[in-house]
């Protein structure tokens, strides 16, 4: 019989292994989310896979996000992992500067990371070091930019409904999930109830 896998147990095991290198711990909608330094991504993935109590052996998704307001850490690589036996999911992120977006490839641990990393490279320009074939997967090879980065003005700058700030390009808008000091925004209970209805 398999014991339930709780977020508290996962946090405890991560803390025992990596100490304060695990940061930004949150539980949005019950999913444990945390951040580690980019150089630890493979070590964390291997630990989560091998640890008998955790056994996160399915890489559900690997993607990237561009946060233009996060100076020096503009690109995030996001890993979603699943323990199929305990039916438990977690998410963790590593951040890199847009000037040098190097992250170690997870293809040596998960075969499915091959195409997922190629897609993140194709759209965000993340350089997965050690990837066996890091070429564009959907866009043409001649493309000299990364289309999902928030670096391009929208079509008509006079239209109010196409305000760049509303799309995370410039200004103070930061996807609505951070306060001015960078800490997570607390969702008011009334708004939280609206989201769940």
**Average pLDDT along the chain:** 87
Q: Of 193, 187, 2, nearest to 88 (Cα)?
A: 2
Asked whether the beta carbons of 38 and 196 are under 8 A apart, the reply is no
pLDDT reported for residue 122? 97
- Summarize the confidence of residues 107-123 as an average pLDDT: 97
Q: Which residues touch 189 (CB under 8 Å, ≥6 apart)?
A: none
DSSP character at residue 181 = T
Does the pLDDT of residue 70 top 90, yes or no? yes
Asked whether the beta carbons of 121 and 128 are under 8 A apart, the reply is yes
Distance CA 104, CA 88 (A): 25
3-state secondary structure of 54: coil
**CATH 3.30.460.80 residue window(s) in the chain:** 7-152
Q: Of 94, 92, 91, nearest to 73 (Cα)?
A: 94
pLDDT reported for residue 173? 46
Asked whether the beta carbons of 86 and 4 are under 8 A apart, the reply is yes
Does the pLDDT of residue 183 top 70, yes or no? no
pLDDT reported for residue 34? 98
pLDDT reported for residue 17? 97
Distance CA 132, CA 149 (A): 24
Fold of 7-152: Beta Polymerase; domain 2 (3.30.460)
3-state secondary structure of 108: coil
């Amino acid at each position: 019989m398999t014991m339930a896998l709780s977020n508290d147990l996962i946090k405890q095991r991560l803390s025992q292994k990596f100490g304060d290198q695990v940061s930004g711990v949150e539980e949005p909608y019950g999913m444990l989310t945390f951040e580690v330094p980019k150089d630890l991504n493979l070590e964390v993935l291997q630990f989560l896979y091998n640890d008998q109590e955790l056994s996160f052996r399915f890489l559900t998704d690997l993607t990237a996000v561009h946060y233009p307001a996060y100076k020096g850490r503009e690109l995030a690589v996001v890993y979603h992992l699943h323990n199929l036996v305990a039916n438990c999911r977690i998410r963790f992120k590593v951040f890199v500067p847009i000037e040098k977006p190097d992250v170690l490839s997870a293809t040596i641990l998960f075969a499915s990371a091959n195409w997922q990393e190629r897609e993140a490279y194709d759209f965000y320009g993340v350089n997965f070091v050690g990837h066996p074939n890091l070429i564009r997967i959907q866009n043409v090879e001649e493309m000299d930019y990364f289309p999902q980065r928030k670096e391009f003005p929208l079509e008509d700058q006079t239209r109010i409904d196409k305000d760049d700030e509303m799309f995370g390009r410039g200004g103070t808008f930061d996807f609505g999930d951070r306060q001015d000091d960078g800490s997570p925004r607390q969702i008011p209970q009334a708004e939280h109830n609206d989201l769940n209805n």
